């Protein structure tokens, strides 16, 4: 066994972000209001109760529309990447990344979602981003929709529940793909397409009080079907027009363990993982799995579909599987007396063998390797880790240092598992992106203080700060790692 991890020279090392969490400029240069502009930091709500933070009702939307301020509405200001992108991309290039994942703010391109013509300034902004990346030979990975659809599609349509949205999305994606075709070959239609069942507003603009006489679960699954159709249309468009482009599905991958060897708990863990696989199954295999159809039958959920849907899904499956991984949970049939553990916006039973962050997420490096094996064995397709990172409160010292040894430890142990899996488990991995490049706004809590970046941004949870950037210790650690290129000494991870 070699003393080095060896990776292919086209392996993509990078960092990931999303428009609503970094850009700011929420109403500049023609951008329309997005659903993310209606989400605010709620100090009165426990940070572990993400559902409450993201469960927006019509009253909250009306409050947001009336308030032209941006301080309280964290995703309106982000970390002002809109005006700092050259500086940030240069710093990331100096760190040595070879890929950068970012998302397109749909309302920056079509302010109301149903506009006849795109906003030229929005298109130019993203062209400038990819040209800046090209300068440093950094491969873009672009998410078309990452929790920030145009608010108008919620107010004057029924968001993703309304089939008409597919047509608006299609116009948005073809416009963007054509405009960036010379620079972008990796596309992700939706961020964590499975998240719609956990936060239907953030993922699909669904506001429960707008469906007073409906089974809201049916509304969610109907909206999800429309997103599957839209995602298949991205695959169809890219394969038909641009042979060099790849389109990936993207899921929230949590590793789920049985709480113990009680067969009931093993069964529970399998069923919990199937709830996520249902989404990737549809996009990777091209059809609804029987267990999901059975669930709809049992819950009397009836979807409205069109005859071309089945063929469209079957003929336009994903080229790769992108996923986010943060932590693992346990599953138990009987949870009486057991503690809860959170993993991103999923939850489960606390695992006594693992540490837990302030946000209740448990740190499990072995879990990322298990997820790589699980996804490879289920789909036998190339994988792409597009999010992995540690949200933590970082302290800026008076000399503007940030000694985030805990983040170095988290990343070191997870990346060591990833490289071991590539070496030993026969998985095909396109690349690895940490979640966070600079610090940014937390998706689930709208906090700034839940920091993920290699670069600290001087800003607090209430929008106060200089927006100045400072490199953390983890910046230099990742820079060292990436400096090894295709041969990485194994002892690097034991330092
Ligand atoms: C994922 C989202 C990202 C990011 C990440 C971290 O689900 O795709 O947008 O936010 O979670 O979670 P959070 O920001 O809630 O700490």
- Ligand 1 centre and the CA of 75: distance in Å? 13
Say whether 60 is catalytic: no
**Nearest partner of 441 among 146, 147, 15, 18, judged by Cα:** 18
pLDDT at 347: 87
Mean of pLDDT over the chain: 96
Question: For residue 346, what pLDDT is reported?
Answer: 83
pLDDT at 353 (0 to 100) = 96
Q: Cβ distance 311 to 352 under 8 Å?
A: no
- Locate all alpha helices (DSSP H) within 34-119, ordered by sequence: 50-54, 58-66, 74-77, 81-95, 106-109
Tokens at residue 455, please?
């670069």
Residue 150 has pLDDT above 80, yes or no: yes
**Residues in the chain, how many?**
495
CB 188 within 8 A of CB 245: no
Distances (CA, A) of 278 to 84, 107, 273, 311, 423: 39, 29, 9, 18, 29
> In the prediction, which pLDDT does 71 show?
87
d(CA 83, CA 468): 12
Query: Region 371-381: what's the mean pLDDT?
Result: 98
Q: What is the pLDDT of residue 82?
A: 98
Quick one: pLDDT at residue 163? Answer: 98
Average pLDDT over residues 362-380: 98
Please, is 334 exposed, middle or buried when counting C-beta atoms within 10 Å of its C-beta (0-12, 13-18, 19+)?
exposed
- The percent of residues in the chain predicted with pLDDT above 70, rounded, is 100
Q: Looking at residue 490, what DSSP letter applies?
A: G
Tell me what pLDDT residue 47 has: 78
Residue 241 CA to ligand 1 centre (angstroms): 32
Looking at residue 53, its pLDDT comes to 81
Q: Which of 23, 132, 192, 218 is catalytic?
A: 192
Q: How confident is the model at residue 271 (pLDDT cuts 50, 70, 90)?
A: very high
Residue list, ligand 1 pocket, CB within 6 Å: 18, 21, 191-192, 252, 324, 344, 387, 391, 435, 442-445, 450
| pLDDT for 290 | 95
DSSP annotation of 15 reads: E
Question: Which pLDDT score is estimated for 494?
Answer: 87
Are 329 and 347 in contact, with CB atoms under 8 Å apart?
yes
* 415 band by pLDDT with thresholds 50, 70 and 90: very high
Longest CA pairwise span in the chain (Å): 64
Q: Collect all residues with Cβ–Cβ distance below 8 Å to 138 and sequence separation of at least 6.
A: 14, 89, 92, 93, 97, 98, 99, 100
Pairing status of strand 346-349 against strand 340-343: antiparallel
Band (92; pLDDT cuts 50, 70, 90): very high
Q: Whose CA is nearest to atom 16 of ligand 1?
A: 442
pLDDT tens readout for residues 462-484 = 999 999 999 999 999 999 999 99
* Mean of pLDDT values over 52-75: 92
Q: Is residue 170 annotated as part of the catalytic site, yes or no?
A: no
Q: Is the pTM of this model over 0.95?
A: yes
Q: What dotted CATH number matches 4-494?
A: 3.20.20.80
pLDDT mean over 311-319? 98
Which of 279, 347, 393, 444 should be mutated for ligand 1, with most atoms under 8 A from CB?
444
- The answer, yes or no, to whether residue 224 has pLDDT greater than 80, is yes
Tens digit of each residue's pLDDT (9 = 90 or more) over 320-369: 999 999 999 999 999 999 998 888 888 899 999 999 988 889 999 999 99
Q: What is the mean pLDDT of residues 41-67?
A: 89
Q: Is 337 left (phi over 0), alpha (psi -120 to 50) or beta?
A: left
Average pLDDT over residues 420-437: 97
* Cα 242 to middle of ligand 1, angstroms: 30
Q: Does the structure show a pLDDT above 90 at 400? A: yes
- List pLDDT tens digits, range 165-180: 999 999 999 999 999 9
Atom 7 of ligand 1, residue of closest alpha carbon: 344
| CA 1/CA 3 separation, integer angstroms | 7
Percent of the chain with pLDDT over 90: 93
Three-state DSSP at 329 gives strand
Domain parsing of the chain, residue ranges: 4-494
Query: If you measure from the C-alpha of residue 128 to the centroid of ligand 1, how many angstroms do you get, rounded to a whole number?
Result: 25
**pLDDT number for residue 114:** 98
pLDDT for the residue 61: 97
Mutation test residue for ligand 1: of 344, 346, 391, the one with most atoms within 8 Å of CB:
344
């Amino acid at each position: 066994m070699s003393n080095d991890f060896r990776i292919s020279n086209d392996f993509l090392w990078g960092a990931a972000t999303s428009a609503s969490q970094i850009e700011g400029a929420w109403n500049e240069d023609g951008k329309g209001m997005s659903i993310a502009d209606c989400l605010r930091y709620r100090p009165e709500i426990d940070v572990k109760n993400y559902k409450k933070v993201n469960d927006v009702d019509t009253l909250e939307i009306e409050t947001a529309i009336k308030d032209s301020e941006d301080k309280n509405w964290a995703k309106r200001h982000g970390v002002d990447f809109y005006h700092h992108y050259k500086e940030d991309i240069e710093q990331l290039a100096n760190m040595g990344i070879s890929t950068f994942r970012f998302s397109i703010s749909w309302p920056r391109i079509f302010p109301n979602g149903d506009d006849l013509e795109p906003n030229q300034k929005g298109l130019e902004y993203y062209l400038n981003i990819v040209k800046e990346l090209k300068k440093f030979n950094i491969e873009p990975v672009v998410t078309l929709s990452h929790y920030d659809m145009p608010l108008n599609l919620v107010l004057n349509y029924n968001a993703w529940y309304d089939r008409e949205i597919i047509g608006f999305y299609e116009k948005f994606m073809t416009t963007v793909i054509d405009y960036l075709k010379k620079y972008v070959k990796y596309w992700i239609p939706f961020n964590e397409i499975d998240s719609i069942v956990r936060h239907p507003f953030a993922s699909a603009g669904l506001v429960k009080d707008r469906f007073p006489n409906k089974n809201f679960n049916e509304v969610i699954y109907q909206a999800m079907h429309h997103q599957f159709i839209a995602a298949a249309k991205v695959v169809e468009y890219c394969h038909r027009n641009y042979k060099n482009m790849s389109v990936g599905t993207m899921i929230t991958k949590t590793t789920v363990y049985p709480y113990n060897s009680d067969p009931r708990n093993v069964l529970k863990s399998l069923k919990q993982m199937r709830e996520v696989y249902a989404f990737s199954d549809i996009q990777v295999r091209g059809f609804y799995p029987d267990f999901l159809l059975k669930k709809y039958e049992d819950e009397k959920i009836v979807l409205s579909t069109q005859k071309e849907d089945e063929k469209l899904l079957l003929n336009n499956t994903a080229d790769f599987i992108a996923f986010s991984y943060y932590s693992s949970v346990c599953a138990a049939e009987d949870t009486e007396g057991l503690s809860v553990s959170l993993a991103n916006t999923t939850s489960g039973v606390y695992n006594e063998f693992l540490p837990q962050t302030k946000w209740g997420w448990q740190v499990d490096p072995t879990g990322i390797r298990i997820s790589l094996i699980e996804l490879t064995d289920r789909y036998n397709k190339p994988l792409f880790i597009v999010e992995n990172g540690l949200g933590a409160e970082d302290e800026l010292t008076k000399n503007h240092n940030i000694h985030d040894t805990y983040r170095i430890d988290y990343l070191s142990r997870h990346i060591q598992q990833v490289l071991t899996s590539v070496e030993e488990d026969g998985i095909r991995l396109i690349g690895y992106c940490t979640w966070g490049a600079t610090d940014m706004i937390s998706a689930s809590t709208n906090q700034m203080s839940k920091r993920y970046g290699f670069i600290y941004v001087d800003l607090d949870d209430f929008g106060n700060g200089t927006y100045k950037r400072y490199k953390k210790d983890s910046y230099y650690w990742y820079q060292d790692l990436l400096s090894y290129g295709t041969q990485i000494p194994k002892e690097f991870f034991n330092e």
